[in-house]
Amino acid sequence: MLDPGHGGRDVGARGPDGQLEKAVTLALARRIAVGLNPNYRVVLTRTDDYRLGITDRTALANREKAVLFVSLHVGGSFLHQATGMVVYYFAEPVDPAKETSKAEPKPEAAAEQAVPWDSVQQAHADASLRLARLMQNEFSRHGNVPLPDLQGAPLMVLRGADMPAVMLEIGYLTNPVDEKMLADPERLKTIAGIISSAINKYLENKIR
């Protein structure tokens, strides 16, 4: 499941020359889909310019029983010099007080209790981190694109995904240099190819 961020009235970040995040993410998702193994069934959360709620995106992935969820975004900042790429995986903020006082549930009680929708991603934490690291490693193999940072964050778009899930932030549209890069079809094709390659490698290893 590829998730082009934003859409419709929710345009996302806007670049100095008028590029919109919603258009960049959809173009990127389409290019990634082309580069994936043809044996895989690829679904986009949106296929045109319309708005979709954040939780609706992961709900769609869950309904389709997707084996991976990859959300695509572009950064925005009031500081025009802000730049860079990030691969996010889901991680709750650590509360030391809760960690020390929390009692472990009995195994039989845990088995009987349904997992709340906003906790299902925790079961895929290790796999999501592996996917995020693979994405970062694949970018590191290409010297002509920035190396993304790796960050854990409690992102709502990943929280309800019942499968390994990551979110990529591909540059800052508010940075004139990044906007030019994201408006270049060849550069976008290169970035999409890197992401496609990482997804293909992850699924090949998972299937074996």
Domain-wise residue ranges, the chain: 2-207
Does position 143 have pLDDT exceeding 80, yes or no?
Answer: no
* Percent of the chain whose predicted confidence (pLDDT) is above 70: 88
Sign of CA dihedral 122, 126, 127, 130: positive
- Tell me the whole-structure pTM to 2 decimals: 0.88
Tell me how far apart the alpha carbons of residues 44 and 107 are, in angstroms, rounded to a whole number.
37
Element (H, E) at 152: strand 149-153
- Give the helix ranges, DSSP H, for the chain: 21-35, 54-63, 96-101, 107-112, 125-140, 156-159, 176-183, 185-207
Which residue in this structure is represented by tokens 């996010």?
Answer: 88
What local confidence, expressed as pLDDT, does residue 22 receive?
97
Tell me how far apart the alpha carbons of residues 42 and 36 are, in angstroms, rounded to a whole number.
8
In whole angstroms, how far apart are CA 191 and each of 99, 114, 136, 173?
39, 39, 12, 15
Give tens-digit pLDDT for 177-203: 999 999 999 999 999 999 999 999 999
Does position 26 have pLDDT exceeding 90, yes or no?
Answer: yes
Does position 142 have pLDDT exceeding 90, yes or no?
Answer: no
Q: Which CATH architecture has domain 2-207?
A: 3-Layer(aba) Sandwich (3.40)
Give tens-digit pLDDT for 73-130: 999 988 888 999 999 999 998 765 655 444 444 444 334 445 566 789 999 999 999 9
Does position 151 have pLDDT exceeding 50, yes or no?
Answer: yes
Three-class SS of 62-118: HHCCCCCEEEEEEECCCCCCCCCCEEEEECCCCCHHHHHHCCCCCHHHHHHCCCCHH
Give tens-digit pLDDT for 158-182: 999 999 999 999 999 999 999 999 9
Q: For 7, left (φ over 0), alpha (ψ -120 to 50), or beta?
A: left
